[in-house]
Amino acid sequence: MPIRNEAIADAFEEIADLLEIEEANPFRVRAYRNAARTIRGLGTELVEMVARDEDLTALPGIGEDLAAKVRDMLESGKMSALEKLHESVPASLESLLRLPGLGPKRVKTLYSRLQIENLSQLARAARDGSLSQLPGFGRKIEQRILETIAARRGSEKRWMRSAAAAAAEPLVDYLTEIPGVKRVIIAGSYRRGKETVGDLDVLVTAAKGEAIAQRLADYPETRNVVARGSTRATVVLRDGLQVDLRVVPEASFGAALHYFTGSKAHNIQVRRRGQQRGLKINEYGVFRNDRRIAGKTEKQVYRSVGLPWIPPELREGGVEIDAAAEGALPDLVEPGDLRGDLHVHSGDSDGRATIEEMVAGARDAGLRYMAITDHSRHLTVAHGLDAARVRKQCARIDRLNEGLRGFRVLKGIEVDILEDGTLDLPNGVLAELDVVVGAVHSHLGLSRRKQTDRILRAMDHPAFTMLAHPTGRLLGKREPCDLDMERVVRHAAECGCFLELNSQPARLDLLDIHCRLARDAGVLVSINSDAHSVKDFRNLSLGIAQARRGWLTKRQVLNSRPLRELRKLLRRR
C-alpha cells in the first residue's frame, strides 16, 4: 500500500517530539513541525509527486534534507532518521510529552533519573511519591499527573476533525462511484461538527447493500474487516479509524440520517415527543402502529413531532428542542458569510509564504480583507518582530495596498501577553496598528486567579483588539489553561474588545460553550484561520462548524462585516 501524506507528517511530528526531549535546537524542531503542517495541507499525495519526479523542495519548508527523508519513507516504508532517534530516545516517551505540565525537560528528567518510559511507570512513581523528590516537580504536579493519567485511561481514542476529514473525503468519493449508490453521507459526531470523532458513521442509499459492504471491505485503505452483513459493515482503516457502514433504502434515508447523526440525548427527546403523539421513531422511519408515515427526509421526521428541522451542530440534547418548539432557533453562520480573516502570519515570522502570496490565498478563499499578525519579539522561536521590524512591515503593507483592488491588508500583530499581563511591544507601535491580537504562549500553568487576572489586564490595554485562542489548548496534547472564562467574557463586553475562535485543527478555541457565553454577553467573535500557509485558509470551515455548535449567527461574528463596518468597530475599541 502506498504511504499517505498523513503518515509522513506523523513521522516528522514524532521526530520533532523526540528532538524536543533531547533538547535539540528549537529551530530544528520547528523545521520538522512546519514540514508536517505543510504536508498535511497538501492537496496532492507526495507519493504521486515523487512518481511524477516533481521537485519536493519547491514545497514551503521542505529543503533537500527533508525531501530526502520523504523519499526514504516512500521507498522503504519507514523513516531512517526516526528509527535512529529511537535508538537513543524511546518512542514511548512521546506519550509523556503530551501530558499537561510535562515539557521536554521534565520528560528527560523522568527518563534519566527514574528510567520512566511510559504512563504506567509514571503513574507508579507518582503514587509512591518518587516524582515529588525530583527537581522541577512537587506534590501538586504529582497529584495533577495522577488525575490526568486517570482521565486519559478513561477516554476512548479520538481523532481530530481534520484527520477524520482526510479519511472521510476519499472514502465518500470511493463509495459514490459504486454502481447503484445514490447518496453517501457521513453522519455521527462528524456531521454534528464535533472537534474530535471516535469513528465514522457512513450512511449509503442503495438497493443492494451486500455489494456495498463488500466494496468497503475491498477499499485500499481498509486494514481489517470487523463485521460484514447484507446492509452493514464495520472496518478499521490503516490509520486505526473505525468506519461503520449502513445501507438503507431511499424511503428510510431521513430517519436513518437523523438516528445515526445523534446525539443519543437529542434522539431520545425526539422519540419522546413522538411517543406523546402515538408515534414510534427509529432508523427505519416514523410509524403509527405498523404504518410508516414519514422518514424519507429529516424534515419529515421533525415535522411529525411538531418541530422544524434542527441543524446537526445543535443536536446535543440541550435546549435545542425547546428552542425549536418556540421558533427560536438561530440562523447559524455559514461558510460564505466570512468577509475577512484577522489572524494571518507571513514569512516575516514563522509563516511559510510572503504577504503577497497570502493575499492571493485569501482571495482564492473568497475573502475581501485580512490582517497580517505576525508574532512579536518575545516568541523568539517564531522569529518574532520587534518594534522596528513591525514598522518596516507596515510600510510594505501600505505600498502593497496602493496596488490592490477589491482587497485590503490590515496592519496587525499577534503580541505576546507576558506573565504580568503587559504586552510584548511598546505602546507607541501598538497604537499604529489596525489589529492587535493578544495571545498567551508561556506560563500556561498559572493558577486560575493569576491566569485570569493576567488576561484581564492585557485586555485593558487601549490598543488591545482581541484575545487569541483563549484557553491555549492543543487537542490531544495540551489541556486548556485554568481560566475563568465567564470573567473573561464579561470583561471583554465591558472594555469593548473581541474574542477569537481560532480555526487551527488542534485548537478550535473558543470552545462551543464559550461561544455561547460570548453570544449571550454581546461580545463579537472573530473566526480566524491563524494561517501560516496559503492552504491554511481552508481551516476556516472548521471554525465555522465550531461557531455553529456555539449557536453563533452571522451578526455575532466580527469578520462577517464588510470592511467599512469592521473599521468602525475597530476604531470604537
DSSP strand pairing (369-372 vs 340-344) = parallel
Would you say residue 74 lies in a domain? yes
Same domain, 236 and 144: no
For 94-170, strand residue ranges (E) read: 159-160
**For position 274, which CATH number holds?**
3.30.210.10
Same domain, 296 and 230: no
Q: Please compute the mean of the pLDDT values over residues 480-499 and round it to a whole number.
A: 96
Paired strand residues for 237 = 222
How far is residue 440 from each of residues 49, 173, 249, 419, 482, measured CA to CA in Å? 38, 41, 52, 9, 12
Would you say residue 565 lies in a domain? yes
Same domain, 116 and 201: no
Higher-scoring residue by pLDDT: 105, 495: 495
Residue 244 clears pLDDT 60, i.e. is over it: yes
**For position 542, which CATH number holds?**
3.20.20.140
24/341 Cα distance (integer angstroms)? 34
CA-closest candidate to residue 505, choices 166, 236, 103, 8: 166
pLDDT bracket for residue 568 (50, 70, 90):
very high
Would you say residue 411 lies in a domain? yes
Would you say residue 293 lies in a domain? yes
Would you say residue 330 lies in a domain? no
Q: What is the DSSP string of 253-294?
A: HHHHHHHHH--HHHHHHHHHHHHHTT-EEETTEEEETTEEEE
Would you say residue 290 lies in a domain? yes
Determine if the pTM surpasses 0.75: yes
| All cell numbers assigned to 411 | 496592519
Same domain, 179 and 118: no
* pLDDT tens sequence across 529-541: 999 999 999 999 9
373/461 Cα distance (integer angstroms)? 17
DSSP strand pairing (280-282 vs 285-288) = antiparallel
Chosen domain end from 126, 153, 180:
153
Residue 91 clears pLDDT 70, i.e. is over it: no
Same domain, 180 and 321: no
Residue 493: the pLDDT is 97
Same domain, 320 and 448: no
Residue 390 clears pLDDT 90, i.e. is over it: yes
Residue 478: the pLDDT is 83
Would you say residue 508 lies in a domain? yes
User: Which range marks the domain in which residue 257 is found?
Assistant: 253-325
Core vs surface per residue 69-93: b (16+ CB within 10 A) or e: bbebbbeeeebebbeebeeebbeeb
Would you say residue 453 lies in a domain? yes
**For position 184, which CATH number holds?**
3.30.460.10
The H or E element spanning position 241 is none
* pLDDT tens sequence across 308-359: 999 999 999 989 999 999 999 999 999 999 999 999 999 999 999 999 999 9
Rg, C-alpha atoms of the chain: 25
Same domain, 361 and 492: yes
**Cβ atoms of residues 168 and 145 within 8 Å:** no
Find cell 485543527 and name the residue. 505
Residue 90 clears pLDDT 80, i.e. is over it: no
Same domain, 175 and 87: no
243-257, 314-328, 469-483, 527-541, range with the lowest pLDDT: 469-483
Same domain, 439 and 550: yes
Q: Please compute the mean of the pLDDT values over residues 207-218 and round it to a whole number.
A: 89
* pLDDT tens sequence across 442-470: 999 899 999 999 999 999 999 999 999 99
For 426-508, strand residue ranges (E) read: 435-439, 466-467, 498-502
Same domain, 396 and 448: yes
Give the count of domains, the chain. 4
Residue 506: the pLDDT is 93
Same domain, 558 and 463: yes
Same domain, 342 and 425: yes
CA-closest candidate to residue 231, choices 249, 251, 247, 253: 247
Chosen domain end from 325, 353, 370:
325
**Cβ atoms of residues 224 and 209 within 8 Å:** no
Higher-scoring residue by pLDDT: 470, 108: 470
Residue 95 clears pLDDT 90, i.e. is over it: no
Paired strand residues for 498 = 466
Chosen domain end from 104, 132, 153:
153
**For position 100, which CATH number holds?**
1.10.150.110
Mean pLDDT of the chain: 92
For 405-536, strand residue ranges (E) read: 408-416, 435-439, 466-467, 498-502, 525-528
